[in-house]
Amino acid sequence: MPVGDRGRQQRSIATREALVLAAGRVFARMTYAEARLKDISEDAQVSPGSMYFHFGNKKDFALAVLDHEQERMKQVLTEVTGSDDRGLDKLLRLGGGLGELISSDVVVQGGIKLSSQPGTDFGSHSSAPYFQWIEITRTIIDAGIRDGSINPEIDSQVYAVIFNEMFVGAQVIAELADSWQSLPARIQDLKPVLEKLLSSPRTGSASSIPGRSAT
């Protein structure tokens, strides 16, 4: 590729990244209905013509932010699952890592705000990830059951839902309290509760098990 073409391509990539970052900031601080393309172009310091070259309308920006949100969250997942930790430790690290990400990444924050707003039509971009994360969590719990770090008597599907409900609950409260700044601390506070709920009898004291009949 000629040097000039390579330079133009790099500038185009940088402009697109700046626009996505700006869109994340805009959607994090105002509703989708309130946000204007002008807000995004001004935040990114990109001309309207250059903006329209990359994104045709506001919905294109929203979908890009939602996609980038999931990409960045999956990066945390990849780091956690690539370790030699046991299942329970991976699950706790995943919660902590996602909490840190959400508290500091404006694109992720913008995606969360978009996916939780009524009256928007982003299809599976906004709803499907919640159920995908339940399945991801179930897989980690199953691995923990196999390696002995998680109680084999629990129902992994039930506990995957519980884990995600606890995480999303902490996330919502942190958003309302201080725009997610307290989320890492809130997730840390949940750690002993999750350990008590999930630990194998061989590694810790397990509580009563929801989702299973007494025998």
Distance CA 70, CA 76 (A): 10
Residue from 67, 73, 53, 70 nearest 20 by CA: 67
Lowest mean pLDDT among 88-102, 155-169, 195-209: 195-209
pLDDT tier at 156, thresholds 50, 70, 90: very high
Domain-wise residue ranges, the chain: 3-198
Residue 210 confidence (pLDDT) above 50: no
Confidence at residue 209, expressed as pLDDT on a 0 to 100 scale? 43
Neighbouring CB atoms inside 10 A of 11's CB total: 11
Distance CA 26, CA 40 (A): 6
Distance CA 138, CA 110 (A): 26
Q: 164 and 138 in contact (C-beta within 8 Å)? A: no
Q: Return the CATH number of the domain spanning residue range 3-198.
A: 1.10.357.10
Three-class DSSP labels, 64-104: HHHHHHHHHHHHHHHHHHCCCCCHHHHHHHHHHHHHHHHHH
Task: Please give the model's pTM, rounded to 2 decimal places.
Answer: 0.87
Residue 6 confidence (pLDDT) above 90: no
What φ, ψ does residue 150 adopt, rounded to 5°? -120, 140
Residue 2 confidence (pLDDT) above 90: no
Distance CA 197, CA 209 (A): 8
